[in-house]
């Protein structure tokens, strides 16, 4: 549920953690009986537990379409990510992937762990896809075709310029944003969002992941995956892998801050996209990952640990985001809080400090001008180190109840 130390330091996260735990169990119980749908929803829980929880809020038809859309693109991404596949084998698979989803017999063994299972038993995904309404199938096919072609384009081409970076992120994530907007529109619940806003929703998430996953990608075997654009990293080091070496720590952090500043460009578009959503379940489905992204950027900024290990939001804060994100006021509040957190970490001597502060102030201005900041609860307690004794007492009582419940359950078994 989260480390005891984190719970003691942040007792306000205990209740959201318990709710998240219960939601996870509920999601497991909601898995359909049909073998192909059971496989899809079980696989969704394995490849992205948080996504699987958020998707449960959508109505059944739209939920099924989004589930299959996600798994199809995960499978496509698995082919792209597997550096052991020869280029002459990988390229035609990526280009033809939109046709494979219509073939109940097609599968291709690649990837590792749960992704290998997804690829080996892809016929379940195809079977479920063929049961979707035609308008959903068309939207998924079109986005898969564009994404596969874009991925194939970048197999042999490194990300050189910032424009290349934006184009690559468009193919692997911006198109996801466009596809989801089409699915929402096909459901009759939302107007079709402008393409540039849908694209920014995807780019904001993808750039956050690329920043956070630097070390995992650079250490990939048998071949590194390099997504940071040369136009940015070459200002600081001679080779991208040099950023992970301790002697380059100062330059590495400066490069990291440059990357975060680039990602912040998309935040205002994301706020505009989310403010236009009408359906509550679709709104929460879109808003929670975006808040996680701005929170992750705030943690990564000026943080050398990005080059040493894994940097991510603690589970309790994630649970709080999932629990509290219900209105646009909550979104503005989260973006404002996390941008304040990031702003407090900006070193005036950083080469990009002026640009970073300008982008953060633009985000904060948008949040203030919404007029909704006074209507939300803060995601970050200003004095987290001085938790009240009352909260600690409540924590002890809750943990005692949980322990007693688990002990009783164990005895019954």
Q: Which of 212, 324, 359, 376 is catalytic?
A: 212
DSSP state of 412: H
| Mean pLDDT of the 243-260 span | 97
Domains of the chain: 10-409 (1.10.600.10)
The predicted-structure confidence for 131-158, as pLDDT tens digits, reads as follows 999 999 999 999 999 999 999 999 878 8
Rounded Cα distance between 350 and 347, Å, is 5
Reported confidence tier of residue 55, pLDDT bands at 50, 70, 90 = confident
Contact status, residue 335 vs residue 294, Cβ threshold 8 Å: yes
Identify the active-site residue in 273, 285, 301, 379.
Answer: 285
Phi, psi of 291 (to 5 degrees): -65, -40
Would you call 236 a catalytic residue per the annotation?
no
* Of the candidate ranges 109-113, 214-218, 221-225, the one whose mean pLDDT is the lowest: 221-225
Q: Could you give the CA distance from residue 349 to residue 403 in angstroms, rounded to a whole number?
A: 50
**Lowest-pLDDT range, 81-95, 187-201, 225-239, 367-381?**
367-381
Report cis status (omega within 30 of 0) of the bond before 222: yes
Average pLDDT, the chain: 89
Residue 402: is its pLDDT beyond 70?
no
Give the per-residue pLDDT at 383. 47
Name the active-site residue from 104, 225, 230, 314.
225
Q: What pLDDT shows up at residue 411?
A: 55
Closest CA to 210 of 174, 250, 260, 147: 260
Range scoring the smallest mean pLDDT among 23-32, 58-67, 276-285: 23-32
φ, ψ for residue 374, nearest 5 deg:
-75, -10
Q: Which candidate in 122, 165, 168, 236 is catalytic?
A: 168
How many other CB atoms are found less than 10 A from the CB of residue 103? Answer: 13
Say how far apart CA 365 and CA 242 lie, in whole Å. Answer: 37
DSSP secondary structure code for residue 192 in this structure: P
CA angle (336, 184, 54) in 5-degree steps: 55
Residue 382 appears among annotated catalytic residues? no
Residue 31 pLDDT class (50, 70, 90 cuts) = confident
For 193, which DSSP code? Answer: P
285 as an active site residue: the answer is yes
Q: How far apart are CA 243 and CA 258, in angstroms?
A: 13
Q: Residues of 64-76 as b/e, b for ≥16 C-beta within 10 angstroms?
A: bbbbbbbbbbbbb
Q: Are 10 and 317 in contact (CB under 8 A)?
A: yes
Q: Tens of pLDDT along 153-207?
A: 998 788 999 999 999 999 999 999 999 999 999 999 999 999 999 999 999 999 9
């Amino acid at each position: 549920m989260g480390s005891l130390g984190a719970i003691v330091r942040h007792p306000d996260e205990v209740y959201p953690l318990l709710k998240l735990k219960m939601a996870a169990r509920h999601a497991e119980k909601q898995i359909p009986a049909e073998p192909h749908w059971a496989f899809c929803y079980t696989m969704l829980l394995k490849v992205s537990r948080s996504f699987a929880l958020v998707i449960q809020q959508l109505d059944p038809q739209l939920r099924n379409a989004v589930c299959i859309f996600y798994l199809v693109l995960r499978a496509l991404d698995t082919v792209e990510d597997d550096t052991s596949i020869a280029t002459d084998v990988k390229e035609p698979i990526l280009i033809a992937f939109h046709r494979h989803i219509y073939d109940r017999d097609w599968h291709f063994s690649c990837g590792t762990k749960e992704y290998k299972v997804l690829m080996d038993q892809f016929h379940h995904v195809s079977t479920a896809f063929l049961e979707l309404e035609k308008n959903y199938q068309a939207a998924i096919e079109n986005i898969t075709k564009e994404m596969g072609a874009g991925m194939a384009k970048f197999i042999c081409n490194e990300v050189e310029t910032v424009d290349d970076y934006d184009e690559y992120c468009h193919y692997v994530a911006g198109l996801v944003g466009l596809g989801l907007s089409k699915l929402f529109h096909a459901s009759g619940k939302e107007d079709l969002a402008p393409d540039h806003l849908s694209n920014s929703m995807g780019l904001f998430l993808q750039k956050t992941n690329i920043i956070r996953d630097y070390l995992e990608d650079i250490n990939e075997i048998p071949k590194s995956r390099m997504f940071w654009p040369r136009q940015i990293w070459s200002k600081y080091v001679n080779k991208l892998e040099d950023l992970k070496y301790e002697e380059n720590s100062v330059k590495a952090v400066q490069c990291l801050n440059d990357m975060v500043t680039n990602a912040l460009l998309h935040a205002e578009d994301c706020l505009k996209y989310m403010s236009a959503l009408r359906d509550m379940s679709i709104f929460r489905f879109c808003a929670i990952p975006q808040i996680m992204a701005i929170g992750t950027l705030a943690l990564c900024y000026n943080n050398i640990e990005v080059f040493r290990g894994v940097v991510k939001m603690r589970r309790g804060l994630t649970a709080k985001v999932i629990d509290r994100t219900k209105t646009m006021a909550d979104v503005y509040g989260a973006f404002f809080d996390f941008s304040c957190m990031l702003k407090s970490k900006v070193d005036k001597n950083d080469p990009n400090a002026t640009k970073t502060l300008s982008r953060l102030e633009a985000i904060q201005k948008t949040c203030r001008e919404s007029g909704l900041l006074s209507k939300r609860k803060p995601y970050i307690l200003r004095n987290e180190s001085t938790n009240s004794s009352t909260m600690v007492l409540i924590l002890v009582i809750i943990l005692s109840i949980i322990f007693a419940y688990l002990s009783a359950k164990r005895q019954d078994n």
